[in-house]
Amino acid sequence: MTRRRIRARLRLSHLYTFACTRPEATEEGPHSIEGPGYSRLVHCNQPLMHKKKPFKYRSNYISTTKYNFFTFLPKALYEQFHRVANLYFLAAAIVSVTPLSPFSAVSMIAPLVFVVGLSMAKEALEDWRRFMQDIKVNSRKVKFHKGEGVFDYKSWKKLQVGDVVKVEKDQFFPAALLLLSSSYEDGICYVETMNLDGETNLKVKRALEVTLPLDEDASFKNFTGKIKLKTKFDMPDWWYLQPQNTDDYYDPRKPVLSGVTHLITALMLYGYLIPISLYVSIEVVKVLQATFINQDIQMYDEETGNPAQARTSNLNEELGQVDTILSDKTGTLTCNQMDFLKCSIAGTAYGMSSSEVELAAAQQMASDLEDQDVERSTDFRQKGKQQEIELETVVIPKDEMVHKSPIKGFSFEDSRVMEGNWLNEPNADVIMLFFRILAICQTAVPELNEETGNYTYESESPDEAAFLVAAREFGFEFCKRTQSSVFVRERYSASGQTIDREFKLLNMLEFTSKRKRMTVIVRDEDGQILVLCKGADSIIFDRLSKNGRLYEEDTTRHLNEYGEAGLRTLALAYKRLGESEYSAWNNEFQEAKTTIGADRDLMLENIAEMMEKDLILVGATAVEDKLQKGVPQCIDKLAQAGLKIWVLTGDKVETAINIGYACSLLRQGMKQICITEISSDAKEVVKENILLQITNASQMIKLERDPHAAFALIIDGKTLAYALGDDVKQQFLVLAVQCASVICCRVSPKQKALVTRLVKEGTGKTTLAIGDGANDVGMIKEADIGVGISGVEGMQAVMASDFSIAQFRFLERLLVVHGHWCYKRIAQMVCYFFYKNIAFGLTLFYFEAFAGFSGQSIYDDWYMLLFNVLLTSLPVISLGVFEQDVSSEVCLQFPAVYQQGPKNLFFDWYKILGWMGNGLYSSLIIFFLNIIIFYDQAFREEGQTASMPALGTTMFTCIIWALNCQIAFTMSHFTWIQHLFIWGSIATWYLFLFVYGRLSPSISGNAFQILVEALAPAPIYWLATLLVTIACNLPYLAHISYQRCFHPLDHHIIQEIKYYKKDVEDQRMWTRERSRARERTMIGFSARVDAKIRQLKGKLQRKQLSSEIHSPARSS
């Protein structure tokens, strides 16, 4: 019996077994596509071969849409009724067509159709935008070989596997490509992979030797080839999908029939306590909020023409609740441009330009000294009050104070060394050597710009490009490179006369993150062999000879000053070699290069160490890492708003640290915690060592007593792989959240996503990820909110994001302004809906008690239908769209107001229960006060008492007035639209009563006009409406008045100062508000400027103390 069941199950398994869509392979024969292990065979330049099986592969078309024309209706309906709330209302609508419903079917079906229809329309609109974005990408053009050696343009989506394409300079690759040839003689190509792996350095790709001759279009006329691609892992031929177990049915007890029918009726009657209009109102409000974000001119980038874009409207309120920002570096924080700013040559500092940190610190310092001088005068008090009223900011952006350098990559200003004036300096020979090192010690390729006549440089790092531009401006222009030589065009005076010099390139010791230096060995025209080296100052100083330390003390002082100014520094050194010394070393070097085995790298490293010693110090460079416009100020503002910022980058540790200094995530004096893999032992040993480092770092932070102390956590990708393990990640997260800034270097896209998930799940708070490339897609999707930079690095990140902006600096306004507004608007909307529906729905429950729980409603069906759809919906929408507790300018001046969102001050249980209690109170007042007023009282002059339609209409009128007045008192900012919606809703109610009364009794259900004939002539109707409205709103008015007077929130005080233009009597509160204008932070531009000011004040105090000591000595 058991065997039969097993065989039956095996036969049934065929019903849910599916085959993989891959070519079949047998164990006996080779792979169906030529040979074992090969999953794809590509016929190059033979498009007809790929139009028939088995070589017909997928097209190059990409799609990020959720629906298409055929799947929209069923899939969108499934998405809508996947929500429990919509299922509930669907069930209620179905029951409404039965005799059990106390209302007409229209009153239940119409709102559901409206809500679902509007939500589907919103989904269609957002998917249409994604579809248009796909069209934009798929329609990009690229040259392809169409035959006979002729290239023509084709859209990306029409490319086929095997096509030969011609990609020109600064263009994007349309697909995965294999390099056949290039315009360079050696068939090399410099590729920027920033949007894939986050690397800023250019990658060198080399063509195959057999395809190097394909350098002309006509050479592709008869070109054919085959490419065999190996599978990285083997897919299974079959897999089994087991259906879910459906044996868990149960048979509930059957209640009494009357109990069931009454329960259904009660659910229908009290269904108004669950506001279906809440969903549609929030959908409408979110779409309009997203529209305002899209239309915000302050987030429009004029350079690229890209506006901000809310790609989804479902996360608007979460923009105001972000706790941690996880950012990519390359293309997000930086614009990949270095500016040569200062240098130290032969112990003398050159360069008069100032960095952003120096300018801001000097300005703040001058402002503080000016305040101390003016503080004694009475005029200053009035001036200070005026500044308090206007809420002026202090720091002025750099681009408003200084002009931009006209030369890209060169902001150096010092006449002593420009235009050949360096020849008049006392150490002119050392200065010339310094400039030659800049021009020769590099790996770049020059390209002549025919329009300007200047050379541009394709380099592996932006530092090299800045050095070459600086050398050119100093008169030493790198103009040509071959396999064996470097050519420099030297100009010694302003006359323009040049001399072309050739330096034979003998050897090159490349830069690595481990070596932290680069060396070239060249022979000049005089036959002298020179070793030219540049690298980190600590590395170079350790390799100086005794005679080469002449300028070490002065250079060290200059390097410290450059570091404090946020500049990236390198030291330059050299030495001369004799022929015999070089020949002996070169023999060992060539032998090591030809060695095959695991010891090859170690041998090369040891031989390089032999050459890079006994150097002579020449000087040092200082370049400013050009961030995107406004990045330091944006990070500063976000830090003041209380947001934590993590940087996840694929760059090396040194580059990431320098960027951290440039954007003020790091600063001088900040204690850096570097978690590294310091051994190559077994995994368990390494993991224990990393865990010990994390534990020691956490203990160090706990024992720190300096209130100004700040810690930065820096970790690389290899170490992060261990730190993200299940048994280590919690300790790592605890350490990370204690640090002011966190920088993760050399991380893969998967690690970015894992770190994001760790922060999101470990802290339980809202996370935001921002990036611009394909390597950021996983991180963007994993975060609660994903933001893509719509720059020049492709659209992968934008397509995967929830919001897109053109520059990182726009994130400040997106969060601090729109995020704060959207959070508060949605929170107030939801709380008001609780109030509104409780105040209305409980009156139905109270009447049930008077009606013997018969299921009878006191309100007309048409009243019920119009209540949420027309009479109370528009004021709520205006609240969610136009409400502003403070203006956008004040949001930016007082960024700490943003913390109301992460702290959830407007949607915690205290607020929710408070609004629900207010709704309960209003329902009691509306129902029982009307009952008391109309009970046994004459309603008309003839002495008639109020009928049930009259009582229900009067009660409903009180509800309309009370609810609309309540929302008017809730608003802080009024526009004419809000006035129109609030008071227009009340007028619409009276207009409806007038028109409804004139309809035939078959429609209205009344043989008389309820307003004109019954209610309007009765004074008690108007008096009851006025009394109930006042009684409902009086407690709320008392509450907000008490709160503003005795326990004001931050925005209350700002409103008093900003909007009413009057001084605050309680100066203590205003002083508190000024001190809380920004969250205390250890990172950001302001924190860095504060540290610089403390340093300058310390120097000033020491100088004053020194002068006081010397003065008595002179007098004596």
Residues designated as active site: 328
Residue type at 525 in one-letter notation: E
CA dist., res. 460 & res. 190, Å (int):
8
CA dist., res. 742 & res. 672, Å (int):
10
CA dist., res. 273 & res. 838, Å (int):
6
Report CA-CA distances (Å) from 115 to 119, 143, 246: 6, 49, 33
In this structure, what token pair is assigned to residue 957? Answer: 């009128």
In this structure, what token pair is assigned to residue 235? Answer: 């897919």
What's the CA angle centered on 778, arms 773 and 784, to 5 degrees? 110
- Judge whether 540 and 573 are in contact, CB under 8 Å: yes
Q: Does the CA dihedral 901-902-905-907 come out positive or negative?
A: positive
Closest CA to 842 of 780, 919, 790, 899: 919
Give every CB contact of residue 1030 below 8 A, 6+ residues apart in sequence: none
Give every CB contact of residue 768 below 8 A, 6+ residues apart in sequence: 322, 324, 325, 326, 783, 784, 785, 786, 787, 815
Give every CB contact of residue 112 below 8 A, 6+ residues apart in sequence: 86, 89, 90, 92, 93, 276
- Judge whether 472 and 478 are in contact, CB under 8 Å: yes
CA dist., res. 816 & res. 1077, Å (int):
13
Q: Report which DSSP code applies to 544.
A: B
Closest CA to 512 of 425, 594, 450, 605: 605
What's the CA angle centered on 970, arms 969 and 971, to 5 degrees? 95
In this structure, what token pair is assigned to residue 1039? Answer: 């509450």
User: What φ, ψ does residue 90 adopt, rounded to 5°?
Assistant: -65, -45
Secondary structure element (H or E) that encloses residue 842, with its range: helix 820-850
In this structure, what token pair is assigned to residue 930? Answer: 């009307």
Report CA-CA distances (Å) from 185 to 208, 481, 482, 510: 13, 11, 10, 22
Question: How do strand 766-771 and strand 322-327 relate by DSSP bridges?
Answer: parallel
Q: Is the peptide bond before 54 cis (omega within 30 degrees of 0)?
A: yes
**Beta-carbon neighbour count of residue 99 at 10 Å?**
7
507 Ramachandran zone, left/alpha/beta (phi>0; psi -120 to 50) = beta
In this structure, what token pair is assigned to residue 219? Answer: 């050479």
- Judge whether 91 and 55 are in contact, CB under 8 Å: no
In this structure, what token pair is assigned to residue 469? Answer: 């531009």
